[in-house]
Structure 1
Amino acid sequence: MNPTVLITDYVWPSIDAEKRILKEINANILIAPTGDESTLIKMATKADAIITCFAQVTDKVILSAKNCKIISRYGVGVDNINVDTATKENIIVTYVPDYCIPEVSDHVIAMMLTWNRKILKHHNQTKTQGWSSVSLNDRIMRLNDKYLGIIGYGRIGKTVASKASAFGLNILVYDPLIPEETQDSLVTFVSLEELLTKCHFITLHAPLLESTKDLMNEDQFSLMRPDAFLINAARGGLINEKALYNAITSKKIAGAGLDVLVDIDPPIDHRIINLENVIITPHTAFFSQESVIELEERAAKEVVRVIKGEMPDNIINPNVISTSRANITTK
């Protein structure tokens, strides 16, 4: 019998790439009309595999998927998947950890430059008020010898550091998994407190875990410079939004560049979106045509491997391999 693959959601024009890859196993593809839990519970009963983007793959969805061998995430984080339940049910969970490193790191640098050079403000003023309308009273920094702080020094954090070094920035890094005495020619490892107090720009590149939820809260904002600009192209939950709103409106920090919020589909009147000192993009830091094709192909290829009994490339719960429903052959 041909395997059935449930695609819970996607945000690109088509799934032609997935269809081409999944043709290798003659898969029947089901596309969920909505990502709500009740719909996914019903559709998961037929699934041998699930590919998911932003939809919540809850414990109830997983428990209904009695034949499911793999849940493949379109993306880096897996906070929308109940990994613990999947593991208990001997279901492999995979992800694509490195598909959009160029795009996200570019986006972070673009946020920093757009803010510092006042590109959006001067563009809007010139378009609406004329060439002579722009005053030069805003703070615009010479970046050379200023400080950029990177919280989380994984693949994307390291790429941001490499690109930012071209501007002559001093780069400070905090990552609790990397000792402060670690040597790196591009960056200096410091405590979180030192990074927050020194840096003119701070960018977040940590996963969203219970330990990192509200990583940036009132205490952290109180340590930051009044001219600091915070960038988040990682996960919305890393920032306590009430604390961020208060920090910006009370001028404890200068502003923020956000590609993510806690709400994955925030209303247009969201109070942070409407702050003048916030640059906002709708979770598009990952996007280029090239990155999306890569993402689609690699997520689908993980399904093909597991259905064929082969080891996936990037597995979140490797301890499940020996007992997995897929009967993986290890070499």
Structure 2
Amino acid sequence: MKIVFTDLDHANHDVETEILDRAGFAAPLLRCLNEDELIEQLAGVEIALNQYAPFTRRVFDALPDLKQIIRYGVGVNNVDLEAASAAGVQVCNVPDYGMHEVSDHALALSLALIRKLVPMNAGCQAGRWEYADAIPIRRQTRMTAGVVGLGRIGRLYARKMAALGFNVIAHDRYHQPNAADGNDDIRCLELDALFREADVIGLFCPLTEETRHMVDDAALARMKPTAYVVNTSRGGIIDEAALAQALTAGKLAGAALDTTEREPLPADSPLRGIDNCLVTPHMAWYSEDAALELKRKVAEEAVRFANGEQILWPVNRPEK
């Protein structure tokens, strides 16, 4: 099978190349940025290892030989899954490579907000030594953590927050806590009830039409003015204009975002310059270990598919 990398911003792709070479496949690295470049450069290609390049219905219509797309990472927002299925293209992702890193990052952001570490550090660095600037801070064992989305990462975050003494509640329309997950003691609520009850809210949802701007003006109005929101999933889940307004008006105590609706965060973003809004550059997934695991798993999934073996991480169900 003809395999290519459509695009990749990593320093190298040595891990993938070694795995593909060992299996008897050569895969050139392309630099496709848009639909036209995909259509022009992927003629005859059957397997595409993909990071950002957009696979739309137009692209699928123009590439009848394409059989599989493997996305670097969990999200598949740049792939039209309905069009892929109709075209008979199997889409895969790597859902478990950075789940410990993302849950740890969400935990770190949660604690940084609650303990007010960033403003306290800024004050000390500026020569001010006054713990009272952090008032009020609550004891974690008297706080409730709300987990929205009980996938792999959400379940890990829930367990880690519970281990620190938080009361943990959750909401997931498609997954209920159970003994096999080790989360059977979590109380599940409707989303509105979770927003009202939680002191820190962690978002662990895919970005879909259902979840886009799930945290909007109405959702923020339901939250306690002392609550914190942490998002390490996808930026579009939060209406950033509404979030900025809530933060500046004192209707929300703080927020921490590893993903934003546009990345990098635009210079004119309303979230810029808000002291109680922490932003990190979509790095929650990263550790050296996670990066190597991602690269290995992308290549191994391609080899399995090319050899007619059972794939591990299908996202859609091709119709052909």
What TM-score range do you get, normalising by the shorter chain? over 0.9
For residue 13 of structure 2, what is the aligned residue in structure 1? 15
1:168-216 residue CA offsets vs partner (Å, 9 max, x unmatched) = 1110101112469999444211121221111110011111111111111
Task: Name which of 169, 174, 179 aligns with 2:171.
Answer: 174
For residue 155 of structure 2, what is the aligned residue in structure 1? 158
Bigger mean CA deviation after superposition, 17-26 or 109-118? 17-26
Deviation at 1:138, TM superposition (A): 3.3
How is 1:1-331 mapped onto 2 (pairs within 5 angstroms)? 3-127=1-125, 129-130=126-127, 132=129, 135-178=132-175, 184-320=183-319, 323=320
- The 1:276–1:34 alpha-carbon spacing in structure 2 relative to 1, beyond 3 Å, is farther
Partner Cα separation in structure 2 for residue 55 and residue 150 of structure 1: 31
For residue 328 of structure 1, what is the aligned residue in structure 2? none
- TM-score, with length taken from structure 1: 0.89
* Coordinate RMSD, CA, aligned: 2.1
- The 1:153–1:221 alpha-carbon spacing in structure 2 relative to 1, beyond 3 Å, is same
Which runs of 5 or more residues in structure 2 are unaligned?
none
Q: Would the aligned equivalents of 2:89 and 2:318 in 1 still touch at CA under 8 Å? A: no
Q: Would the aligned equivalents of 1:44 and 1:61 in 2 still touch at CA under 8 Å? A: no
Deviation at 1:75, TM superposition (A): 1.2
Partner Cα separation in structure 2 for residue 181 and residue 98 of structure 1: 19
**Any idea what SS the aligned residue of 1:149 has?**
strand
Which runs of 5 or more residues in structure 1 are unaligned?
324-331
- The 1:20–1:239 alpha-carbon spacing in structure 2 relative to 1, beyond 3 Å, is same
- The 1:44–1:144 alpha-carbon spacing in structure 2 relative to 1, beyond 3 Å, is same
- The 1:275–1:55 alpha-carbon spacing in structure 2 relative to 1, beyond 3 Å, is farther
**Any idea what SS the aligned residue of 2:133 has?**
coil
**Any idea what SS the aligned residue of 1:211 has?**
coil
Partner Cα separation in structure 1 for residue 103 and residue 177 of structure 2: 23
For residue 96 of structure 2, what is the amino acid of its counterpart? D
Deviation at 1:25, TM superposition (A): 4.0
Q: Would the aligned equivalents of 1:75 and 1:97 in 2 still touch at CA under 8 Å? A: yes
Deviation at 1:137, TM superposition (A): 4.4
- The 1:160–1:179 alpha-carbon spacing in structure 2 relative to 1, beyond 3 Å, is closer
Partner Cα separation in structure 1 for residue 88 and residue 178 of structure 2: 40
Deviation at 1:278, TM superposition (A): 0.8
Q: Would the aligned equivalents of 2:214 and 2:239 in 1 still touch at CA under 8 Å? A: yes
**Any idea what SS the aligned residue of 1:98 has?**
coil
- The 1:280–1:305 alpha-carbon spacing in structure 2 relative to 1, beyond 3 Å, is same
- TM-score, with length taken from structure 2: 0.92
1:97-135 residue CA offsets vs partner (Å, 9 max, x unmatched) = 1111100000010001111112111222222x2252664
Percent identity over the alignment is: 30
Bigger mean CA deviation after superposition, 150-159 or 235-244? 235-244
For residue 142 of structure 2, what is the amino acid of its counterpart? D
Q: Any runs of at least 4 consecutive aligned residues in structure 1 with deviations exceeding 6 A, and if so which?
A: 180-183
Partner Cα separation in structure 1 for residue 159 and residue 75 of structure 2: 23
Partner Cα separation in structure 2 for residue 5 and residue 141 of structure 1: 54
Partner Cα separation in structure 1 for residue 200 and residue 6 of structure 2: 37
For residue 297 of structure 2, what is the amino acid of its counterpart? R
Q: Would the aligned equivalents of 1:125 and 1:134 in 2 still touch at CA under 8 Å? A: no
Partner Cα separation in structure 1 for residue 134 and residue 293 of structure 2: 44
Partner Cα separation in structure 2 for residue 288 and residue 180 of structure 1: 28
